Structure 1
Amino acid sequence: MPIKTCHKLVRDHIPEIIEADGKICVCETLSDEDYLYLLDQKLNEELAEYQESKSLEELADLLEVMQAVVKVRGWTLEELEKVRADKASERGGFEKKILLKKVVDE
């Protein structure tokens, strides 16, 4: 019986899906510290997958991980949205497609 070794944070229903496929999986529940560390790694993984595929599905995965990070750090999605909106109000968004090419200090 081949064994595939994994060490990655997975979505909550993945163990059930694996077992429904007739396989056995070994899991553990992470400490908050390890969970946050692996969430940060997962952000990088999901961003890389989105950059490669440019798919809406991968962008949704990235958002899911971002929401988990917000929660584990003790913030709320409302707080995140307020910070985003405040920055957009103060500094603007990205709608105008501006490429800053040079800044000359007189």
Structure 2
Amino acid sequence: MHEKRHRKLVRDRVPAIIRSKGEEAQTTVLAPAEFTPALLDKLVEESVELRMAPTRGQLDELADVWEVLTTVVTELGFTLDEVEQAASFKRIVRGGFSERVWLESTSEVPAVRN
């Protein structure tokens, strides 16, 4: 028997889906202190999958990012409304991304002597 190690957070029903295919799934329930770091790792994982997805798979990957993100929001003690308000404030103060600005570099400007 070949064991494949995953060592990652998965959706709640994934172990049952694995078992329904005749495979074994070794699982554990994370302690509260382990859950947030695992969620943040999962957010990175799902973001990378979104980045790599072909156009036809992007909606599914966006759904995965959304599911993890909304869970992170709750786990950190915020509401989606609070996140939206913070995003709106940052959009007003710093702008959004609609203008597609790419920052190439920055440099210090020499002081002008009088």
Shared fold (TM-score greater than 0.5)? yes
What's the offset of the Cα at 1:6?
Answer: 2.4
What's the offset of the Cα at 1:101?
Answer: 4.7
One-letter amino acid of the structure 2 residue matched with residue 78 of structure 1: D
Percent of aligned pairs sharing the same letter? 36
TM (norm. structure 1) is 0.84
Over the aligned positions, Cα root-mean-square deviation in angstroms equals 1.9
Q: Bigger shift: 53-62 or 66-75?
A: 53-62
- Please, which runs of 5 or more residues in structure 2 have no aligned partner? none
Relative to structure 1, the CA distance from residue 22 to residue 92 in structure 2 (aligned partners, 3 Å threshold; closer, same or farther) is same
Do structure 1's residue 38 and structure 2's residue 42 form an aligned pair? Answer: no
If you compute each CA radius of gyration, which structure gives the higher value, 1 or 2? 2
What's the offset of the Cα at 1:71?
Answer: 1.0
Do structure 1's residue 62 and structure 2's residue 52 form an aligned pair? Answer: no
TM (norm. structure 2) is 0.79
In the alignment, the residues of structure 2 paired with residue 102 and residue 34 of structure 1 have an alpha-carbon distance, to the nearest angstrom, of 38
One-letter amino acid of the structure 2 residue matched with residue 59 of structure 1: L
